[in-house]
Structure 1
């Protein structure tokens, strides 16, 4: 895989491990979306469930 180079190590020391931070944030978003998508549809607050009209 990727071999660290002196310039990469210096950038990580100066700026942080940006690829790792992005990867972690992407995984968190993926988990959150997975939970949201898995939920059954909810009726609107204080109203009746939405039933789309079909026209024939």
Structure 2
């Protein structure tokens, strides 16, 4: 809910004034978590041309 459409939700407006926009903050954290997971789960470098392609490092 944004400021533009909260005029019909005075209780929500009061809560936002008192506690901050917790829903928006949670949404930003969730979006960052999704980006982090997407990056962590990106195994495309393993299959890049000239890459190791699954070769295990030697145990030296």
2:38 corresponds to 1:34: yes
Higher helix share: 2
Structure-2 separation of matches of 1:20 and 1:31: 17
Q: If the length of structure 1 is used for normalisation, what is the TM-score? A: 0.62
Normalising by the residue count of structure 2, what TM-score does the alignment of the two structures yield? Answer: 0.58
* Count of aligned residue pairs for this structure pair: 44
Over 2 Å off, 4+ runs: none
Structure 1: segments with no counterpart, 5+ residues: 49-56
The answer to whether 1:13 aligns with 2:17 is yes
CA RMSD of aligned residues (A): 2.7
| Consecutive unaligned residues in structure 2, runs of 5 or more | 47-53
